Structure 1
């Protein structure tokens, strides 16, 4: 039957009403966007039980379908947002801890200086990524010793493994003030061929929270670990734990030569959720205990941007957990990634407490350096609790200052106390430390002369020619009692000009000082720092020193044109 005009109008009205109702229903049923308040943290897991089958106590991580939290872009520079998530970039929430620079000390008052060795290098690569992104780094992010120890200086290696490392000293004029002297202390652990390395028991503890979405975080992390996997052997064991809103086992302990299986487990990791780092650490240690290898390398490798926001977030509780596991022979290495919410202070502190090391990975090449080229030093230990103590001769040295190591300074009484923890050294590791010295009568003293003090103390003739005595304590792995090494530093051994190695170390120390405000080397400026570095590049086979000089030139421009950055 043909439709009239009225019928057609009625039908059209009905269709429009139906469509409007459908649209309203869709709008009403659309799920709300996730908010921070919607994410409810699960209760903190209880202390790990005695080791049992991982299948009985662990759940598999959900690698797809998890709710994606909005990434936290950074101003250094902001990473790309997740598709479809339109949020405003948050302020830079990176966290650093900067102790005051070590002060100048009068030898007559405090002749003894004690500190723990440190093989971390995270500060150098972290500051590098800021400079290359066009941002002046906060002074808090600059740790002089980690700048210095990012380079090799050719320290001699030991010839006998009965002593796990060799050490030497060099005394020469300071480039920034020739009235003063630099004392360089160099330590080198013995080399160990890769095929001679003991079995490894590794647990990769990987942050897969929403903040890890950007390319410089989880995607770079996957590439970093993928470079380590081909180095693994049948006698090694590898497990993978990821953590976001909850922690889960991605890969149970697996023979290291099953490269394809390990790589596949890495590849399927996706970012999403909040960051329950405390639960992840507990779970990782549980797996490490299950596969513990006596006489081998037992280590958890924590890779994160450090944004712990649910679960065990109290730093004291995390430190206690890591310290307890250290006592059981499981070390903790931390690898930092990304920008915007990088918690450098926590990552470095946990590594120090966990008898491990801390590095920041800003590129695939840096990952290769840490996890492949320096794999032995990163994952193995040949000497524990290595402490350095220097006693200066007040008849020779009026003042001294330790450059860097501010968060590694120890009480003098702790040097011989074997209960006090200190840094570890791995095979092939180099440790370099610098003291700035002011000789008696040089006219370069920085502290006021005391009115009532005797500034010419009597010194026995037998040691009158000594500038200082260097003492080192260390423990062999598995031993509780430390061994002592001593060596005098003779005034007659002072060089007229510093070696190329000492010049480079001085230039790097000067670079760090300029970034921290240039207060400790006032006679030096950017031009002189860069000029010294240019002259000390040497053969530079891998181009690292040339790249460092370019970084100094870039930093000079940023510092001269921008105010200090806010670390908070």
Structure 2
């Protein structure tokens, strides 16, 4: 694997304003005033056109000969202040540069004979991709910690083979292809396709919309967009499903008691009444929303959907306290999904923590089209969980693979012993979801190795490699999951063999090539530590030939975003 430098951009802006002081008492006497001739012509027309409240005030001689109006100097500003205009909107809340993301290091290269097992939780969130799109559309590169490569890859649907029935909630698919950015390594893909029940088999839903109505939500890309997003969600629900609305600003309260979706007029009226003001008592809002969901539980989906910019600043706002609360609530059968809005004060770190601990997913809504994707097109995957606590463990064969690196999933890595421990929480798969994980692997004997052999290798390690060569396996994939209401996990396994390998990048299927292009692009955005001289142009060329059917145009949109990234600024200009 080739290692290249990472880059960072920082900027500081300082402004100093000199202080000045005027003294009325020290002013010299004013000279005698000479009367001016009355204005005529154009000057007379202009003077005559002054509004009554803008006519000059009568002058009077003040102390020391200073001329003042009929009121004293303290009222001078009030006298000449322009009257507010009704057609000028109030200034919108604007924040900048306060977006918060969890910092993490890239997954390192592992030596198979020293550390042959890799374990992680799946991740079906897509917030990172949508946030990246919003920033690039503003002409700015996203912050490196906001780029989670697995979420970029998993934003797109892939045509993986799925299970035949609900008895097996998902099916694993594996493949191996040459790595586009390194001819001496291979890219191993694990693809999972979740079961999608027929339309008539969707369970009943009890949803609580938990909506942030604090002052920070007044911008057009926050509360107004949020309101329209929830209106779209109503179109994907069954008339017998129920919806409640809890709002929070300086305090929290119920804006809509549980209401059947069939009474859409009542729900829409409640949404239209929402307005943004005050501080953000998010913790109290979460508590009330869970209480309402539990009081109206159904046999099916019971979920709180939190819509916010994540700026909790009143009441319970500590991340660990909130994580503990939602983790306890998930045990009662109520899950939590998070929809993020806006930028400048967007707290992604908090929302990721809440979604992960609430057995839900995190999305970022930057446009109404994204709202439709998350809440209408992918509604089944967003709302209906078909498998929970899904973990993947891969054991690499030292006879075939010398090194490996998991691309992405840095915030989802688990300890090796966590795989068999059913007490350890992990990610969920929704109905019809696809999940993709990519490993860059170095074949045994390849010159691309980054770690040297030990001088004093044990005989057992050498024997293990010799025995493993006879199996023809590159790796062995194990997946554990629980039924949505279960406590005991089930194990699914599949080997990765030479038969799963393609000889060239071009020979790989379109989904594999496109996922590789997105993964490479994401790594370049993060500094390209392991992608060598591979560039955004290379990602574009690879993705362009792998668009496939592209029913909703997501892949074409990615190409446009990649082109924008080539000229995007490293730092957003200061807004005034």
TM-score tier, shorter chain, comes to 0.7 to 0.9
Q: Deviations over 1:389-428 (max 9, x none)?
A: 0000011100000000001001010001001111111110
Residues 1:538 and 1:432: Cα distance change in structure 2 (over 3 Å): same
Which region of structure 1 is more displaced relative to structure 2, 301-310 or 523-532? 523-532
Q: Deviations over 1:148-202 (max 9, x none)?
A: 0001121111112211111110011111112111110000111123332100010
2:33 maps to none
Shift of 1:337: 0.3
Q: Find out whether 1:328 has 2:328 as its counterpart.
A: no
SS of the aligned residue for 1:231 comes to coil
- Matching of residues 526-565 of structure 1 within 5 Å: 526-558=536-568, 562=570
Residues 1:563 and 1:341: Cα distance change in structure 2 (over 3 Å): closer
- Matching of residues 475-554 of structure 1 within 5 Å: 475-497=482-504, 498-554=508-564
2:51 maps to none
Shift of 1:132: 0.2
- Matching of residues 236-247 of structure 1 within 5 Å: 236-247=241-252
- Matching of residues 405-420 of structure 1 within 5 Å: 405-420=409-424
User: 2: CA distance between counterparts of 1:537 and 1:137?
Assistant: 24
Shift of 1:20: 6.6
Question: Do 1:394 and 1:457's aligned partners in 2 also have CA atoms closer than 8 Å?
Answer: no
**Residue in structure 1 matching 2:451, options 444, 447, 462:** 447
**Residue in structure 2 matching 1:378, options 372, 379, 382:** 382
Q: Find out whether 1:315 has 2:319 as its counterpart.
A: yes
User: 2: CA distance between counterparts of 1:515 and 1:503?
Assistant: 19
Which region of structure 1 is more displaced relative to structure 2, 482-491 or 217-226? 482-491
Residues 1:242 and 1:182: Cα distance change in structure 2 (over 3 Å): same
User: 2: CA distance between counterparts of 1:236 and 1:417?
Assistant: 35
**Residue in structure 1 matching 2:429, options 420, 425, 432:** 425
Residues 1:507 and 1:466: Cα distance change in structure 2 (over 3 Å): same
Which region of structure 1 is more displaced relative to structure 2, 208-217 or 522-531? 522-531
TM-score, length basis structure 1: 0.83
SS of the aligned residue for 1:235 comes to coil
Aligned residues: 490
Question: Do 2:397 and 2:468's aligned partners in 1 also have CA atoms closer than 8 Å?
Answer: no
Residues 1:152 and 1:184: Cα distance change in structure 2 (over 3 Å): same
User: 2: CA distance between counterparts of 1:486 and 1:346?
Assistant: 34
**Residue in structure 2 matching 1:473, options 472, 477, 480:** 480
Aligned-pair RMSD on alpha carbons?
2.2
SS of the aligned residue for 1:474 comes to strand
User: 1: CA distance between counterparts of 2:215 and 2:200?
Assistant: 39
Residues 1:308 and 1:563: Cα distance change in structure 2 (over 3 Å): closer
Which region of structure 1 is more displaced relative to structure 2, 452-461 or 122-131? 452-461
TM-score, length basis structure 2: 0.82
SS of the aligned residue for 1:509 comes to helix
Residues 1:85 and 1:490: Cα distance change in structure 2 (over 3 Å): closer
User: 1: CA distance between counterparts of 2:231 and 2:213?
Assistant: 16
User: 2: CA distance between counterparts of 1:362 and 1:304?
Assistant: 12
2:153 maps to 148
Q: Find out whether 1:293 has 2:314 as its counterpart.
A: no
Residues 1:245 and 1:552: Cα distance change in structure 2 (over 3 Å): same
User: 1: CA distance between counterparts of 2:521 and 2:185?
Assistant: 19
SS of the aligned residue for 1:425 comes to strand
2:135 maps to 130
- Matching of residues 65-144 of structure 1 within 5 Å: 83-85=89-91, 90-144=95-149
Shift of 1:529: 1.5
1:208 maps to 213
Specify every segment of 5 or more residues in structure 1 that has no aligned partner in the other structure, as ranges: 1-11, 13-18, 28-81
Question: Do 2:399 and 2:468's aligned partners in 1 also have CA atoms closer than 8 Å?
Answer: no
Residues 1:185 and 1:461: Cα distance change in structure 2 (over 3 Å): closer
Question: Do 2:391 and 2:427's aligned partners in 1 also have CA atoms closer than 8 Å?
Answer: yes
- Matching of residues 168-183 of structure 1 within 5 Å: 168-183=173-188
Residues 1:382 and 1:308: Cα distance change in structure 2 (over 3 Å): same
- Matching of residues 225-374 of structure 1 within 5 Å: 225-294=230-299, 296-374=300-378
User: 2: CA distance between counterparts of 1:370 and 1:85?
Assistant: 31
Shift of 1:205: 0.1
Question: Do 2:149 and 2:519's aligned partners in 1 also have CA atoms closer than 8 Å?
Answer: yes
Shift of 1:544: 1.3
